[in-house]
Amino acid sequence: MSMQTSRNSIREPILTRKSETSISHVWKRHKEKYLLLLPFSVIFVVFTVIPVLTSIVLSFTSFNMLELPKFVGFGNYINLLVNDEIFLVAVKNTLFFALITGPISYIMCFVFSWLINELTPKVRAVMTLVFYAPSISGNAYLIWKLIFSSDMYGYSNAWLLRLGFISEPILWFDKKEYVFPILILVQLWLSLGVSFLAFIAGLQNVDRTLYEAGQIDGIRNRWQELWFITLPSMKPQLLFGAVMQITSSLSVSQLSIELAGFPSVEYSGHTILTHLHDYGFIRYEMGYASAIATVLFFIMVFTNIIVQKALRRVGV
């Protein structure tokens, strides 16, 4: 009798725990939160998850938007990686572009936000607007097209002629060696966007008492504060900023089209997204364009995984 009683007493807490983790119990306890998340979840599924899955499915078909999709298996991917030389150029340009602009823009966002965070509130607000403005300027490309205009009236040519460095105007976007550096320069100018604001918000939310505790524990300079306190305290913002900078650096298209033209000279400004624009919106080969989009999607996912693992070591 005593053994049966002890067994029942052991089983009761286990049954209670299972009931507490059941779907119905969780729903009753947190249904208000799930209802608040429902509108965003529906929008996210309809406009993000379903299009991504549809694109992956279409990448295995031949689809011109006039006829029904025809299944071709891995034919699009084979053509993309074996026969499409322009795509390989686009991959090289995109990865090289992201390798330069991604880390530099990420560091720029954090350094400028760190410096601006030390200013008084009014000055900080003004400086934040000054640095953030280029990223929300819709026609920012027009400024750089004027600066690097290929005639003598462009600002760069006018000053170089006036200073005697050149004897005739440089055709900036008609020569391969100039196109890529200009695109990198403009992308870095546009890079202080949402990540920059996220870093400022993260710096504002760091608990100031941690710095006092750190001084007691032996932290003696600002660099130690940055590595052991500031960065670990804003890991969510760092991760968000990394994702945004990776996405923006790998998805350059409009910048290249507006400045270097389409196609650019010797495909010097051609990127994966520009190649996608070519096949998706000009040739209407949607199956092939979906294969390009799928490759770009997995490149972004793989890069984000690597960056997440690197950010976990911050402050260790």
pTM, two decimals, is: 0.78
Token couple for 295? 């490759």
Q: Which residue has the higher pLDDT, 43 or 27?
A: 43
pLDDT of residue 7: 46
Give dist(CA 36, CA 24) in Å, integer. Answer: 18
Highest-confidence segment of 48-62, 159-173, 199-213 = 48-62
Q: Which pLDDT does position 212 carry in this prediction?
A: 75
Q: Are 149 and 232 in contact (CB under 8 A)?
A: no
Whether residue 292 has pLDDT greater than 90: yes
Question: In this predicted model, what pLDDT tens digit does every residue of 137-165 receive, in sequence order?
Answer: 766 777 888 888 887 778 888 888 888 88
What average pLDDT score do residues 170-185 get?
87
Quick check: 112 and 230 in contact, CB under 8 A? no
The 3 state secondary structure assigned to the chain is CHHHHHHHHHHHHHHHHHHHCCHHHHHHHHHHHHHHHHHHHHHHHHHHHHHHHHHHHHCCEECCCCCCCEECCCHHHHHHHHHCHHHHHHHHHHHHHHHHHHHHHHHHHHHHHHHHHCCCHHHHHHHHHHHHHHHHCCCHHHHHHHHCCCCCCCHHHHHHHHHCCCCCCCCHHHCHHHHHHHHHHHHHHHCCCHHHHHHHHHHHCCCCHHHHHHHHHCCCCHHHHHHHHHHHHCHHHHHHHHHHHHHHHHCCCHHHHHHHCCCCHHHCCCCHHHHHHHHHHHCCCHHHHHHHHHHHHHHHHHHHHHHHHHHCCCCC
pLDDT at 56: 93
Kindly state the percentage of the chain with pLDDT values over 90: 20
Q: What's the mean pLDDT in 204-222?
A: 78
Q: Report residue 20's pLDDT band, with 50, 70 and 90 as the boundaries.
A: low
Q: What is the pLDDT of residue 17?
A: 55
pLDDT at 1: 44
The 10s digit of each residue's pLDDT in 59-111 is: 999 998 888 889 998 999 999 988 889 999 999 999 998 889 888 988 988 88
- Cα-based distances in Å from 63 to 57, 77, 79, 284, 287: 11, 14, 15, 8, 5
Q: Could you give the dihedral angle defined by the CA atoms of residues 74, 75, 76 and 82, in that order, rounded to the nearest 10 degrees?
A: 100
| Amino acid 316: pLDDT | 56
Backbone dihedral region for residue 306 (phi beyond 0: left; psi -120 to 50: alpha; all else: beta):
alpha
Among 42-56, 175-189, 217-231, 295-309, whose mean pLDDT is lowest?
Answer: 217-231
Smallest CA-to-CA distance from 42 within 54, 50, 32, 31 is with 50
> What number is the average pLDDT over the span 188-211?
84
Q: What is the mean pLDDT of the chain?
A: 83
Per the model's pLDDT, the better-predicted residue between 213 and 79 turns out to be 79
What is the residue whose two structure tokens read 């991917």? 77
Q: What is the pLDDT of residue 31?
A: 83
